[in-house]
Structure 1
Amino acid sequence: MRHLVPAEASFRLLPRLEGLKITPQSSAPGRPRQGTIDMLFFSGRLYIYSLKSFESLLNYRERMISDAEDLYDEVEQLGIFTNMDILRTRVGNNRRYLRKIAVIQSLGYYRDKDFLKRLHQINEAKGWNIQFDNGQITFTEDTIDTVLTVLQNKRLHSELTHQDFDVPSATQVP
């Protein structure tokens, strides 16, 4: 998606606007054409009304599956995880999990040995139940979501309440 619009463009998801239709002023006689708006590029911004339609139009799922395969190959070469079959099965072609994999690959924390060392230490201290085997993260059915959350850096600690949270966005505070 990022390769189709200028780098300075931004993306926004539009709220659902039921009944929003566009009808061209000129159409074939006797046959008005109607369609829905899935996306709109205006003034340097891409507004996405239907993410599903937009991704379908761009064959985005196929690209995410290909990118996920690249990640699987990379982490196998790096020897970071065991039980990769559990990860592959869970992700499959599920858009939600494919997006998580894309974020993990983009952030690249799994490449940082210090990050992985801290993950192991904090996992032990907090009792997150992520399993390690000879320094490798072992995927299990019970911990796969936790591992994916942590690798996206979306498990955060509140200094105010001293509680830990899984958050939908990990936007850094300036």
Structure 2
Amino acid sequence: NKINSANTVLDYDFNTADLDDSLLKIPVNETDFDFMLKSIEADVEPKFIENEQELLGSWVYITRLVVKNKPSFYSVRKVSDSWSTKKVNGFANALFSNNVLVDIKDENVFRIDGKVDFFSYNEQVFIANKVNFESALNFRVGMEKNRDQVVLEFKKQDLFVDADEVKNLVGSNLKRLRKLSQVKNSGYYRDPLYLAQLKVVSENEGWDIKYNDDGKLHVSEQSIELVLKVLNNDRLKSMINQEGFDVDVKHKIG
């Protein structure tokens, strides 16, 4: 069980290394789960499903634990392909009969397993399965919104020769969307000193990053991923032996 074995909680990042025995956390108000919680908590009386057809098309199921004088605890599991109105083998098999789930073997059944993809408590979301978390909350759409927002900022800053080309090159490519969302979150592109130093270092090191005569960045299919990396400060040098590295995940010291 991932929750039982977890001994570390890391801040959520769009690019994350293998979690192993770690959980990720993110404030609930930075996710669409916030809207789901408000919808659930707005219902004084829970709504009961009256027939199996209402379950078809569901993409998650949510468990709510209520303790008096404490925030509610919610656990979420993304619906798998095995969730259907067909007979399945799993943790729990149940039949809808007179609005009650009844254990049965040979009828239409629903499968509920014992795993949790993420859970929420006290305004925080803790993530055990990042892939399912992002899929359940449709993070791609959120990253596409980030793309559009940061491109607008690029235009206001006059940072690129053609900021729309960044949007075109990133498109719906998940790897590039993740990196651009990291760029937005880190905000280095808002720091004029960082941008000035980036230009100096890029020219001194011979990086394949092009500027026009006005100091605006050119971007192309060949350079887009490098440009996104350096805008997120992901080209680093070892203090020990001066080796350089391109990284996807990093944690500040201290």
Please give the per-residue CA displacement for 1:64-103, whole angstroms capped at 9, x wherever unaligned: 1112101111111110012334322221122221111111
Matched, 1:33 2:106: no
How many pairs were matched up? 158
Please give the per-residue CA displacement for 1:86-137, whole angstroms capped at 9, x wherever unaligned: 3222211222211111110111111111101100000011010210111111
Please give the per-residue CA displacement for 1:40-59, whole angstroms capped at 9, x wherever unaligned: 327766233251x3223212
Name which of structure 1's ranges 26-35 and 90-99 shifts more when overlaid on structure 2: 26-35
Match of 1:23 in 2: 91
- Find the aligned partners of 2:116 and 2:168 in 1 and give their Cα distance: 31
- Local SS of the residue matching 1:81: coil
For the 8 Å contact 1:131–1:137, the answer to whether it is kept is yes
Name which of structure 1's ranges 127-136 and 41-50 shifts more when overlaid on structure 2: 41-50
Q: Specify every segment of 5 or more residues in structure 1 that has no aligned partner in the other structure, as ranges.
A: 6-20
Matched, 1:131 2:210: yes
- The alpha carbon displacement at 1:161 in A equals 1.9
Match of 1:171 in 2: 251
Name the structure with the higher helix share: 1
Work out which of the two has the higher radius of gyration on C-alpha atoms and give 1 or 2: 2
For the 8 Å contact 2:234–2:246, the answer to whether it is kept is yes
What RMSD in Å do the two structures reach over aligned CA positions?
A: 2.5
For the 8 Å contact 1:83–1:140, the answer to whether it is kept is no
TM-score normalised over the length of structure 1: 0.78
> Which of the residues 138, 154, 158 maps onto 2:234?
154
- Find the aligned partners of 1:22 and 1:118 in 2 and give their Cα distance: 57
Q: Specify every segment of 5 or more residues in structure 2 that has no aligned partner in the other structure, as ranges.
A: 1-25, 35-88, 95-100
Match of 1:16 in 2: none
Q: Supply the AA of the counterpart residue of 2:222.
A: D
Q: Supply the AA of the counterpart residue of 2:144.
A: I
